[in-house]
Amino acid sequence: MLIERDVESLFASGYTFQEFDGSTITILGGTGFIGQWLIQALHEFGSNFGFSAEITVVTRDARNAHRMLVEELGLKLKITEYDFMSGSTDLEKSDFFINGATPSKKRTGLQNTDSVYTSSVNATHSIVRSAIKYGNTPNVVNLSSGIVYGSQELSERNQIEKSISITSNSPSAYLNAKIDSELIFSEAAVAGLINCISPRLYAFAGPGIVLDEHFAVGNFLRDGTEGKQIAINGNSSTMRSYMYPTDLTVWILTALLKPKNLNVNIGSEIPISMLDLANLISDMTSKKGVKILGDDKVASNYVPSTLCFRQNYGVSEQIDLSNGLERWIEWLIKSEIT
């Protein structure tokens, strides 16, 4: 479950989200990092502010979802099993949809290009099918990615919000899935079938990010908490920025209540190099320093502008990187104890 400081941060946002009272919310990708945060946040907001929403998680593995969300986290929700590799399906009527069905980790199928593209686009079509079937014009947040802008020059700060200029013919199934899902939802919104926004998500750091995948910040934290020197396997000049999940969650839920047909990014605007990030985490954990292994690789940049989102939704980033890392370490320690 969320640590106490995270619950306090959610409430300190100034939002109550009581508008969700009595509604139905369907989350595709509910067992992932973002899905778990959203479900827990809705539970905390509902318990504290006295409202109730019926949450449905659509997953290809109902048993695993029940273990993770009901048995381990104690959350009350409905679980529907469906594998979107099998095609699109008739989802039940829902007031709100959050589409986060694209695999983003090796263990969930990121390296299976057919799975990544097919499951993501079929999930997208399924939401539109539900809207057509019930005619209720649901609100939809489609979790897209900053990858849709293409490569970002190292000297470019920060990636502005703009229309996509590339097409879905990339070798990356993940990129193609994000581009085509945005297009499908945009067409459905223009047709009046849904109210939709597709925020392009960047990088995040906090509880739920796995430590043994391709996420540098997770790898660094794994090395540090194991008492090791932190290894930088990519170029140490690579630039990233990291938003903490409480901010991410509040931003997504705010957009879900009033989706607007805008080009928006979600993430932190404050860049940090991999070298500085590794040194920061080393100082907070092992104090063993850093070893650079990948400076022969090309440095990259992945940092957003969030001006459009902030101006339209009145939100701001509340938790800085150092604070977020402290909380993540606290969560890891508590998880080991329990």
Over the stretch 43-80, which tens digit does the pLDDT of each residue have?
999 999 999 999 999 999 999 999 999 999 999 999 99
Share of the chain above pLDDT 90, in %: 88
Residue 226 within any structural domain of the chain: no
Q: Is the pLDDT of residue 220 over 60?
A: yes
Q: Is the pLDDT of residue 211 over 80?
A: yes
* CA pair distance 22, 301, nearest whole angstrom: 43
Token duo for residue 84: 């979107």
* CA pair distance 338, 328, nearest whole angstrom: 15
The predicted structure's pLDDT at residue 186: 96
The predicted structure's pLDDT at residue 337: 63
Residue 324 within any structural domain of the chain: no
CATH number at residue 62: 3.40.50.720
Cβ-based neighbours of 149, under 8 Å, separated by 6 or more: 159, 162, 164, 165, 166, 200
Cβ-based neighbours of 17, under 8 Å, separated by 6 or more: 42, 45, 49, 51, 253, 257
Residue 216 within any structural domain of the chain: no
Residue 332 within any structural domain of the chain: no
The predicted structure's pLDDT at residue 69: 95
Residue 202 within any structural domain of the chain: yes
- Report residue 231: phi and psi, to 5°: -95, 130
Indicate the pLDDT class of residue 325, thresholds 50, 70 and 90.
very high
The structure tokens 């980033």 sit at 317
Indicate the pLDDT class of residue 104, thresholds 50, 70 and 90.
low
Least confident of 76-90, 111-125, 138-152, 225-239: 111-125
Q: DSSP readout, 94-142? A: -SEEEE--S--SGGGTTT-HHHHHHHHHHHHHHHHHHHHHH----EEEE
Residue 290 within any structural domain of the chain: no
Residues 157, 96: contact at Cβ < 8 Å?
Answer: no
The predicted structure's pLDDT at residue 105: 47
Residue 224 within any structural domain of the chain: no
Domain interval for residue 201? 4-208+242-269+303-319
- Exposure letters 29-51 (e unless 16+ CB within 10 A, then b): bbbbbbbbbbbbbbbbbbeeeeb
How many distinct structural domains can be found in the chain? 1
More confident of the two residues 86 and 104: 86
More confident of the two residues 214 and 158: 158
CA 312 vs. chain centroid, Å, equals 20
Residues 41, 249: contact at Cβ < 8 Å?
Answer: yes
Helices assigned H by DSSP within 191-320 = 216-225, 245-257, 274-284, 307-313
The pTM for the full model equals: 0.95
Angle at the Cα of 13 from the Cα atoms of 329 and 30, rounded to 5 degrees: 65
Residue 75 within any structural domain of the chain: yes
Share of the chain above pLDDT 70, in %: 96
* Average model confidence (pLDDT) across the chain: 94
The predicted structure's pLDDT at residue 103: 73
DSSP state of 287: -
- Span 83-94, pLDDT tens digits: 999 999 999 999
- Span 262-317, pLDDT tens digits: 999 999 999 999 999 999 999 999 999 999 999 999 999 999 999 999 999 999 99
